Amino acid sequence: MRITVKLFATFRKGRFDAEVREVPPGTTVSNVVDELRLPGSIGILFVNSRHADLSRELSEGDTLSIFPLVGGG
């Protein structure tokens, strides 16, 4: 199945901003994170604009957005 993965802030370095990826059915957020070898801890995860956790199973057409811990305001 195809999903869109978006990376932000330091996670973009040496990787990509956004990419459509082919993944096997049953893939979880955690599987994608592991494959990308992201440095440091994960801050915020969204699947289709809603907060998600690492165990979330992805579906065809999902957009996964991954941020390190960031803040401001």
Partner 1 sequence: MDKILRVDMGAEGGPKFRTEPVGEFAGLGGRAMTTAIISREVHPLCHPLGAENKLVIAPGSLSGTAAAMSGRISVGCKSPLTGGIKESNAGGQAAQVLARLGYAAIVLEGKPAGDDLYKIFINKDGVEISVDNSLKNLPNYPLIEKLRGQHSDRAAYMTIGTAGEMKLLAASIACTDPEKRPTRHCGRGGTGAVMGAKRVKAIILDDTGLKMRAPKDPEKFRDANRRFVEGLRKHPITGEGLPAYGTNVLTNVLNEAGGYPTNNFRTGRFENAAKISGEVQAELEVKRGGVATHGCHRGCVIQCSGIYHDKDGKYVTKQPEYETVWAHGGNCGIDDLDVIARLDFLDDNFGVDTMDTGAAVGVAMEAGLIPFGDGAGAIRLVEEIGKGTPLGRILGCGAAVTGKVFGVERVPVCKGQAMAAYDPRSVMGIGVTYATSTQGADHTAGYSVGPNILKSGGDLNPLKPEGQVEMSRNLQIATAAVDSTGMCLFIAFPLLDQPETFQALLDMIGAFHGIPLTGDDVTALGKSILKMERDFNTRAGFTKHDDRLPRFFLNEPIPPHNVTFQVKDEDLDKVFNW
Please, what sign has the CA dihedral across residues 63, 1, 30, 68?
Answer: negative
What mask, x for binding partner 1 by CB under 8 A, covers residues 27 to 66?
Answer: -------------xx-xx-x--xxx-------------x-
Query: Which residues share a beta bridge with 46?
Result: 51, 65
Report the amino acid identity of residue 15: R
**Closer to partner 1 at the Cβ: 24 or 70?**
70
Q: What is the total count of residues that contact partner 1 (CB under 8 A)?
A: 22
Tokens standing for residue 52: 């998600």
CB of 15 to partner 1, least distance (A): 13
